[in-house]
Amino acid sequence: MRTGTRIVTVIVAFGVGLLFFTACGDDRGTELTPTPTREPEATIPSDSAVTVQIINPEEGDAVPMQTRVEVMVEPFELGEQLHVLVRPIPDDPNQDYWVQAEPGPINETLWASDPVFVGIETDRPSLPFRTCAVITAENLERGQRLRTLPSGPSHCVNVTRQ
């Protein structure tokens, strides 16, 4: 009968992470010890030279319920995504950001998201909203709700409903 020590590693992939199980023991039995790990997330460095600026609408503008948001981005790199999000009543901590239509390029630096919904039909005139553009590695879907803005370079303007 052979005796000795065995090391067994099992890698399980799920979602965005991996879970490693490492087992050490002799031929009589094996004990598993879970060691959770996460793959590094793709991030844009905080010292990134990327600039994002909403050029339309401008800070303080009164906008209709459906509007167009134009964003200037320099430079725009592969692997990053530009998203436009709207948050009603920006000072209310119970409000979420709503992901809007995916912006499309107008030229090398100008992008537009249309339509962008600023509230619903029953919202009163002068109701405040925050409109934000963010470049992130995160995949976001139109209509998705987020408690906070995704990480990455961003620019926001405060607008009101017409």
Task: Please provide the DSSP assignment of 113-124 as one string.
Answer: EEEEE-S-TTPP
The DSSP bridge partners found for residue 156 are 132
Instruction: Note the pLDDT of residue 10.
Output: 36
55 and 132 share one domain:
yes
Instruction: Report whether 51 contacts 153 (CB < 8 A).
Output: yes
pLDDT (tens digit per residue) in 38-86: 333 333 444 457 899 999 999 999 999 999 999 999 987 667 899 999 9
16 and 60 share one domain:
no
**Of 123, 130, 116, nearest to 87 (Cα)?**
130
- Whether the pTM exceeds 0.85: the reply is no
Instruction: Note the pLDDT of residue 75.
Output: 83
Domain at 155, CATH number: 2.60.40
Predicted confidence (pLDDT) at residue 23 exceeds the cutoff of 70: no
**Residue 19 structural domain:** 6-38
pLDDT (tens digit per residue) in 132-147: 999 999 999 999 999 9
